[in-house]
Structure 1
């Protein structure tokens, strides 16, 4: 804990701590350009459970609106419609193919909170014709969830020692991230 405080706060107690200022016409805080929140967040992750509890209590007493959202894992279930095209099918046993897909993902950020999002997929691979109607295939794909990457109305929990005045805390929070991944697949394809 002492190492965390020394590395994070440094000499004057706030030189390395993220700070924010409010605009004159807006009550919402906006981060300064030299904000060090990423470095502090990395330091917080390295703490053990007891140290995190101590820091959370200190933050709750110094910052109004002490809410947290616990994201243990992000899950995603996709439903896609793919259109595929065999690139060279004239008399070859092995045929390259390309596909494009459009559909949706059901993204789970917090337990029981699922957000539908539009998605697309690009695929390419090789297929081997076993019979006129059946082919075995192997390929790879790139999958991306499109949109603004905002997942809102996530249930927030108040910190135990939060002493914020009524109306300063919120019951929900927003997460913002993009999602894309690559993968491989193999299987059997039936042609009608």
Structure 2
């Protein structure tokens, strides 16, 4: 931890996390509040688990109201309805297709906390007709969860060393992120 502090603070404690200051009659832009927050956040992310525990303890002792939400993984289960169209189907063995899908995702941010979100999917690929009722296909897709990206009412825990009076800390928190991904698929289609 000592090495982390020495490397991070540098110089007079202001070398790595500088804050802007204003001088009288200076034409430079007005300083921004908390303009060093991104640098601090980057350094905190780079800490190992033990260092994060130490920093959390120090923050809890110096800042009233320390809450933590532990997000170990984000899970997503999608349910989609797709409409597909064969683009060129006359006399060709290989047929390109395009699809558009609409549905929903059930996004899990914290254990036991699932949030439903609207989603869409765009697909394209090629299919090869093996018989009049059976065709093989391979394609790719783009999937996006739409909406504001807010996942609220996540259960928050107070830091162990937090000595805030009851009622001054929060029991829930909000996470905000967007979700989109690409993928591939292959398989066999049966026509009835």
Give me the whole-angstrom Cα distance separating, in 1, the residues matched to 2:79 and 2:26: 42
Between 32-41 and 19-28, report the one with greater CA deviation: 19-28
- Equivalent-residue separation in structure 2 for 1:19 and 1:133 (angstroms): 68
Give the C-alpha shift of residue 37 in structure 1: 2.8
C-alpha distance in structure 1 between counterparts of 2:168 and 2:114, whole Å: 26
More deviation, 149-158/161-170: 161-170
Shift of 1:4: 2.3
Report the Cα offset of residue 15 of structure 1. 6.6
Q: When the two structures are superposed, what TM-score results if normalisation uses the length of structure 1?
A: 0.86
Unaligned runs of 5+ in 1: none
Helix, strand or coil at the partner of 1:50: helix
- Check the 8 A contact 1:20/1:29 in 2, yes or no: no
How far residue 24 of structure 1 moved from its aligned partner, in angstroms, is 23
The number of residue pairs the alignment matches comes to: 192
Moved more, 73-82 or 11-20: 11-20
Q: d(CA) in 1 for partners of 2:27 and 2:161? A: 24
CA spacing shift, 1:182–1:62, aligned 2, 3 Å: same
- 1:176 offset after TM fit, Å? 0.3
Give the Cα–Cα distance (whole angstroms) in 2 for the partners of residues 20 and 170 of structure 1. 31
Whether the 8 Å contact between 1:18 and 1:37 is mirrored in structure 2 is: no
Larger Rg over CA atoms: 2
Deviations along 1:11-36, whole A, 9 cap, x unmatched? 45467559999999999999955533
Task: Give the CA RMSD over aligned residues.
Answer: 5.2
